[in-house]
Amino acid sequence: MNRCRLVLAAYILLLVTSVSPRAQDKPEYRPPDDVAFRKASIVSEGTRMVAEVFALKRNEDKPLPTIIMCHGWGGLAAQLRPDAVAFARAGYFVVAFDYRGWGQSDGRLLLVKPATKGKSGAPFTAEVKEVREVVDPLDQTTDLLNVIHWVQGEKQCNKRIGLWGSSYSGGHVVYAAQRDPRVRATVSQVPALDSRWVLLGPGRRQTFMEATKRARGEIGYPAPGVKLGNLRGAPIRERLMNYAPVEEMDKAPKCAMLFVIAEKEELFNNKDHGIKAHERARGPKKLVTIPGITHYDIYGPARAQAQKLAIEWYDQHLMVAASK
């Protein structure tokens, strides 16, 4: 009996690692000499996420204003390191993380077939598969909210919390601020704040059809990393249809919000996203349009400018407040 369980456990491990990009780790990251770096584990609804934590070495023993960073559609925390280092050098305690099912984080486990269970609540052995590299904004924002909870227990966090998001996560940080009053400031660069496009035109039929089939067990989750155009990660459309933080701007009346948009934004209309959100925001707010750039230029020629704008905003609403 024990041998059978060991074989089944080995099979589960093989099944999980065979679909996970974590099996092919890149060389260990080496931060700049002046920056302290470590990894941490954060639990979101029972699933382990991996976070990357940054601070200047000379600030390692000091409570600091804190910036939590989250990546956009199909991104990874590792891609945020240049920005995290810039924020750490500006005097902040910085946390970036991978959503569940992305990068180094574990994914939710689903039963492949009904399991044989013993007493209620007791451990049991089952055949499972892992949900990886799909885009579910309600799950991702839950992960972000749990990172906010987690960071409250860090000695270096002085409880002045700022959130940073780009592209799809530019909406996530607003969504989180609407639900957690501990968030003092947000930065949303080239943000998408309304996913109800899944209900437009022929997409409406596809969205409801997929939702019905998934609820009836006729389809599961998409394979890891399925592409949507140039974006990595298939959308869970019935979740996107309920995600529109631009409609809830009144829920964060005290949060200071900065929106940085691209003049030549090509993925969506700024008037329906960053501009509308700025108009509706009730607390301290600012809208900056970077001239001449497209959406992805924010990660290239405009990256340094975007970092400077973010640091100035956090300095005004986190650092100055912290010094009072």
pTM for this structure? 0.90
Domain membership of residue 30 (yes or no) is no
Mean pLDDT, residues 109-138: 89
Structural domain contains residue 118: no
- 287 or 119, which is more confident? 287
More confident residue, 289 or 3: 289
- pLDDT for 151 equals 98
Q: Tell me the pLDDT band of 265, cut-offs 50, 70 and 90.
A: very high
Residue 321, pLDDT score: 54
In a domain, 121, yes or no: no
Domain that holds residue 295: 35-105+132-323
The domain that holds 65 is classified in CATH as: 3.40.50.1820
Gap between the Cα atoms of 197 and 319, Å rounded: 38
**Mean pLDDT across 170-176:** 98
Average the pLDDT over 199-216 and give the result: 97
The answer to the question of residue 27 being in a domain is no
Is residue 120 domain-resident? no
The residue whose two tokens read 């574990």 is: 106
Residue 201 binned pLDDT confidence (cut-offs 50, 70, 90): very high
Average model confidence (pLDDT) across the chain: 91
Does some domain include residue 15?
no
The pLDDT of residue 113 is: 84
Within-domain flag for 20: no
Specify if 291 maps to a domain: yes
Domain count, the chain: 1
**CA separation for the pair 32, 44 (Å, rounded):** 30
Q: Residues with Cβ < 8 Å from 214, sequence gap 6 or more?
A: 220, 221, 238
The kind and range of the H/E element at 208 are: helix 203-215
Instruction: Provide DSSP, 130-198.
Output: E--SEE-HHHHHHHHHHHHHHHTT-TTEEEEEEEEEETHHHHHHHHHHTT-TTEEEEEEES-----GGG
- Provide mean pLDDT across the span 167-192: 98
